[in-house]
Structure 1
Amino acid sequence: MPKFVIEREMPGVGNLSPEQLRAASQTSCGVLLDMGPQIQWVHSYVTGDKIYCIYNAPDEAAIKKHAQLAGFPADRISRVMTIIDPTTAEA
């Protein structure tokens, strides 16, 4: 299944409490449950003013639908073409 990186502009998100982040996560998971197994949230990176989310989804339209239903922005959606890590450098 294709993998996507979603950039969400959310000013001040890095200052949210653990409880607020839990509530946002619960909202996201509830929408995902309703949408079915074709879209999966892998994990997210929270920075000062943005969240970068990694999702497995059939297409960009599914990502947009999730964002709309959950009430989260999806300012940039990029399909991952390949994944590299330090082992990529090995012969």
Structure 2
Amino acid sequence: MKTFVIEREIPGASKLTADELKGISSKSCDVVARLGEPYKWVQSYVAGDKIYCVHEAESADVIYRHAREGGFPADRVTEVAAIIGPQTVAG
């Protein structure tokens, strides 16, 4: 599967309550279970008026399908070309 970063514009995202975030998470997991194809939600980051999600799927089309079926915005979907971090320096 390929890895994608999804940018979701959600005004006030950083002010969502724990219960609201739990509801969004539950809905996302329900949609993933119904997709009927390989899909993995890895992690999401709530920052300002956006939620940045890391998902794995076969294509961006599947990412957009997840968003449509869940009622989530998917303002930008970008395939990850490489992953780097402090460990990259060591080779």
TM-score above 0.5, yes or no: yes
Deviations 1:12-62 (A, max 9, x none): 011011000000100000000001350110010001100000000000000
Within 2, Cα distance between the matches of 1:69 and 1:11? 20
- After superposing on structure 2, the runs of 4+ consecutive aligned residues of structure 1 that deviate more than 6 Å are none
How many residue pairs were aligned? 91
Distance in 2 (alpha carbons) for counterparts of 1:51 and 1:5: 10
Identity rate of aligned residues, in percent? 46
SS at match of 2:61: helix
One-letter amino acid of the counterpart of residue 73, structure 1: P
Tell me the residue number matched to 1:30: 30
| 1:77 aligned onto 2:77 | yes
Provide the residue aligned with 1:11 in structure 2: 11
- Say which structure is richer in strand: 2
Unaligned stretches of 5+ residues in structure 1: none
TM-score by length of 2: 0.96
Question: In the TM superposition, what is the alpha-carbon distance from 1:89 to its structure 2 partner?
Answer: 1.0
TM-score (normalizing by structure 1): 0.96
